[in-house]
Structure 1
Amino acid sequence: MTVTPITDSRPAPVLEMRADRIVAALDTFRAAFPGVRPFYATKCNTHPGVLRTLHEAGCDFEIASVQEMEALGGIGVRAGDLLFSNPVRAREQTARAAAAGVDRFSVDSTEELGRVADEAPGSRVYARLATFGDDSVVPSEGKFGVDVTGVVRLLLEARDRGLVPYGITFHMGSQSLDPAALLHPLQDVAAAMERLRRAGVRLEMVDLGGGFPAAYDEPVPPLADFGRAAAAGIARLPYPVEVFAEPGRCLVAEAGTFRCRVIGVAERPSGWWAHTNLGVFHGLMEVLESGGELHYPIHDARGTRLRRCYHLTGPTCDSQDTFARDVLLSADLREGDELLIGSAGAYTSVYASRFNGFAPPRVVLV
């Protein structure tokens, strides 16, 4: 691997995002899901350059907060084109979004439906269906969603409260590795649609949610496999609807590379350790969230033929701040050497903090 060293002398690590790879990933998604309209999950990476790249490529956006709405407004995205898919919002979030022009809101409880009816009367609502996400690397399900009966009840209540029963959404779990994870939720969607039709409600939209995987240090199923599973489930819906999806990780993860520096190397009874100026609390939180199952591809710029296993840990005094173990790197790795951490464009910079006073990474669009 040929590596160009960082020329910036500032100490903070850098997350480099490649615009061409973002656009290529969006093209791959569209090819895998013909007829499905992608709404980028804004929370995944909120850098203005990333958002602008996707906007200019014709991608739509899903938000979880008014703050994300305002960031998108700054690059010219109309509020009325957004999906607000966070199923539980503070009342003021709904009110501010509605005032700006957002009129599509996800719900998964009677209480949330009431807040939407109060603060965004006449809006279109889509109910969140519960899934289990057992085959996802970063489990994210269990907090939201209702069963088929709950979906039907919520959307009928929406009609009665002057809202538009618009659609159904679900989420199969982040970094899902099983395309079949789409099939059972779509069967439940079909059942709910049929029951609603018998009650006089015809939906307009089904949202496949997110969870589509990116490649890290191990192969993942191609997006085309997920697209075929989705198409099979969509074909069994009782009538045609618009189909949306909320890809995030699969659009931006592989476009990002962390460039950080070794600040110290030590041999201990537990093995060789390389301490870096980037850690779990400064962008690699998903290592903890996945219980260590998410493995970033990691290389060093020294490139020595003789290799040694290292445990890689961040600069803080917290023992949890270890983001990789038994990684083969140059045996003569030393202070000042550069490490490159690939597939780092998703759920990294957005998690970064100043824990222990260390600077979070800068994000640069290449």
Structure 2
Amino acid sequence: MRHNFGAGPCILPQEVFKQASRAILDFKDGLSILEISHRTPEFESVVEEAGRLVKELLNVPEGYSVLFLQGGASLQFAMVPMNLLGDGETASYLDSGVWAKKAIKEVPFFGKVNVVASSKDDNYSFIPKDFIIPEDSAYFHFTSNNTIYGTEMFEFPETKVPIVCDMSSDILSRVIDVSKYDLIYAGAQKNIGPAGVAVVIIKDEILGRIDRKIPSMLDYKLHIEAGSLYNTPPVFSIYVAMLNLRWLKSKGGVAEIEKENIAKAHALYTEIDRNPLFKGTCAVEDRSRMNVCFVMTNSELEKPFLKYVEENGIEGLKGHRSVGGFRASMYNALPITSVHTLIELMQEFEEKTNN
């Protein structure tokens, strides 16, 4: 058995793969999901159900729209300021990792950017705290989970400024209060579905306040009016996302999966802290449940350990080059049995090293 700890595109439930594979052969009356027109009632119902499930699972209040867009979360780095930041206005950003930094880079094309705090000088090993968000900010943007560095933001700032969040790596992994956000976006390839689509949850009333002319494909309002069907969407990615959202609902929803995610993270961090061969790379209070980053106390043992776990069924454990070491991504579909297998291999390697 293989155990997939890859950071993304990541593990999805086996039952979702089976359902999706059947639809490739026959989605409707002998037609594949890969060849069905996105204008058919059958596919329109897929988009509608996927959006309805996002709202149900996250308890999205009235007055919000759910969009399925192309370009991944990276396109949202530009779409957000293009739609929300007027000429001469300033948006505030928290710099907590590579993806936050890339989002910041896009803002000056449309307005001014104010970086309220950064942990860059410490290799993004913690989430900055006690920063001040100017009240005249057009909006405040932050990344809730930093995949590369293994940090996660568990306490969000209280502010009257509109809040925008890149939630790509931890959306649907824990209960959140959507009413506190004005815009949430997430690449699908972590907890939502396969790569190729991004989900945007947007408070309708924040749109239409700037005078800028926006290209049609980058205008949230046009996508809302078209029901995510302004142009040909990534049909298969949305379909698989719908299946995965059904799976999450069948598991008891976000509240139940959060319990599993807490248990998985607790088990692995406990072993990292116990085992003298390993150590974590980020501040304990900011440790991500989704992406556990760690190194070996003796770096010369890292290649032998990686070889050992790969020979025993572990996939995707190698850390990002910015951090080194290892990264165990534990998204919703990863069973806790895979975590226990990794822990057992860590203990076996400890015993082999000491003998």
TM-score exceeds 0.5: no
> Normalization by structure 1: what TM-score?
0.28
More helix by share: 2
Q: Determine which structure has greater relative contact order: mean sequence separation of CA pairs < 8 Å that are 6+ residues apart, divided by chain length.
A: 2
